[in-house]
Each structure stands twice: as C-alpha cells, then as structure tokens.
Structure 1
Amino acid sequence: MSIVSSLSSGSVGQNVVVTQPSPGSQSVVPGQTVSIRCTASSDISNSFLYWYLQKPGEVPNLLIYATSTRQSGVSSRFSGSGSDSDFTLTISGVQAEDSGVYYCQQSYSSFTQ
C-alpha cells in the first residue's frame, strides 16, 4: 500500500522566506523512513522553527517546535533536526495516517477552522 505525502511551501515575516524543496509530493510505502527538508533564506534561531501536518478538512496540527521538540501527544515517529537555515522533519516507519500536507514555519501560528 502506498501513501502520498504532499509538501507545501510557506513564507514568514522579517523578510525570511522558508521553503520546502522539490519534489512537491512523495509516494511512500508504510514502514519507510521519510525526510522532508526545509530551507530558510537566511539563518534563523532554532527556537523558532515549527513543523505542522494538515489533514483534509482539518486545521494544521503542530508536530514539532523549537526545531526538535515534539508537541505533546505527537508520535515518536516524528523527529526534527537542523540548524541555521537547513532543517529536516523525519518520519520513521511512516504510516498511512501520516499522509497530508506538511508545513515548516519560522514562528508559531494558532489555526482555527
């Protein structure tokens, strides 16, 4: 069984643009390890790099904050790493439920439906 993990770019304030390089989507097999890169146009503090997952019909859900700290309740399959302007979200043993749109962002956002 294959799933698709769609990646999306995002922009942030302070004239720093955060992007996720191609490919825009990845077809993966459950159990595979998936890495999603995020690069900033200039160095940013590790304290301010966030990863979100948005599933269809839902608001984005915070996965990782401060580059590598998992939000409470988030599976240990998700881990974050990186520094300066290069960051990575790794999903170890990806599951079908992990399918969705992944966002990296320089600052925290509170999303509402």
Structure 2
Amino acid sequence: MRTPTQILGLLLLCLIGARGDIQMTQSPALLSASVGESVTITCQSSQNIDNILAWCQQKTQNPPKLLICYAYSLVDGIPSRFSGSGSSLVDGIDSRFSSSGSGTQYSLKISGLQPEDIATYYCQQAVSTPPTVIQATT
C-alpha cells in the first residue's frame, strides 16, 4: 500500500505530461446536511483528466488531508463512508467516503454523515501544470 506522500509524489510526476490549462468546476459551493444523511459533491474538468484527480478534506486550522487519489482509491485511514468517482481511498480513510466518475465528470459521496465530517472539501487535477484546485465545498 502506498503512503499519502508516495501518492502525492506520483501525482506530481504526472505533471510532466502537461496538457495546458484545465478548468475545474466543483458544486455545490455550500452544502447543508444532517448527521446520518448522504451527500454528494461533483467536480467537472474542462477536458479529460484520465482519473488523475484527488479529493481532499480540510478542517479549520488544519492542513488539507488527502482522502481519495486517482479518482477511486481511498487513502489509508480514511473512513469507508467517503467514496469518490474516479478515485481510490487512501489507507486509513473510512469507507463511508467513495468516489466515482471518469473523463471529465467526478463525484465524492459521503454516506452516513458524521459530525467529524464537517470540513471544506475540494478536488484537484494533476494532469496539467499548475495543478488546479477549484472553489471548495463547505
């Protein structure tokens, strides 16, 4: 299993094959939900980014936390309630987080929302230089 640092390094390596400016659009900008509900955040790119997309979570006064890379992989330590389209959970991320999508359309789903999920979420492409982060969803 790759560490978040290794994964970020791999994302940065992808910058070498830059495709020009890629515009990212994330929605909604603001999201209200209750504990236990499921929420979905979408991210659209102006051109195909081949799943070279990361979803991050940032809590007040904390650095960003990588949740999902390559559109489908949860990062280690991230709860499974998070999911994403086109990405992988990083080790340790709860499976409530999930991701889906491909090409230009991606989404992050959080199932069974918990109080600790209150944060700012954003997607980032790493196909072109500089990596694009769009307005975040809070």
TM-score, with length taken from structure 1: 0.79
Does residue 93 (structure 1) correspond to residue 112 (structure 2)? The answer is: yes
Give the corresponding residue for 2:31: 26
Does residue 103 (structure 1) correspond to residue 122 (structure 2)? The answer is: yes
Please list every run of at least 4 consecutive aligned residues from structure 1 whose deviation after the TM superposition is greater than 4 angstroms: none
Please give the secondary structure, in 2, of the residue aligned with 1:74: strand
Unmatched runs of 5 consecutive residues or more in structure 1: 1-12
Aligned residues between the structures: 95
Report the CA distance between 1:53 and its aligned residue.
0.3
Between the aligned residues of both structures, percent identity stands at: 41
**What is the RMSD computed on CA atoms of the aligned residues?**
1.6
Question: In 1, Cα distance between the equivalents of 2:43 and 2:125?
Answer: 10
Matches within 5 A, 1:1-113: 14-21=20-27, 23-46=28-51, 48-77=52-81, 78-107=97-126
TM-score, with length taken from structure 2: 0.65
Unmatched runs of 5 consecutive residues or more in structure 2: 1-17, 82-96, 132-138
Question: In 2, Cα distance between the equivalents of 1:67 and 1:103?
Answer: 12
Report the CA distance between 1:31 and its aligned residue.
0.5
Report the CA distance between 1:107 and its aligned residue.
2.4
Question: In 1, Cα distance between the equivalents of 2:109 and 2:75?
Answer: 15
Report the CA distance between 1:18 and its aligned residue.
1.3
Report the CA distance between 1:24 and its aligned residue.
1.4
Deviations 1:78-109 (A, max 9, x none): 01110000000000001111011101001298
Structure with the bigger percentage of helix:
2
Question: In 1, Cα distance between the equivalents of 2:65 and 2:74?
Answer: 12
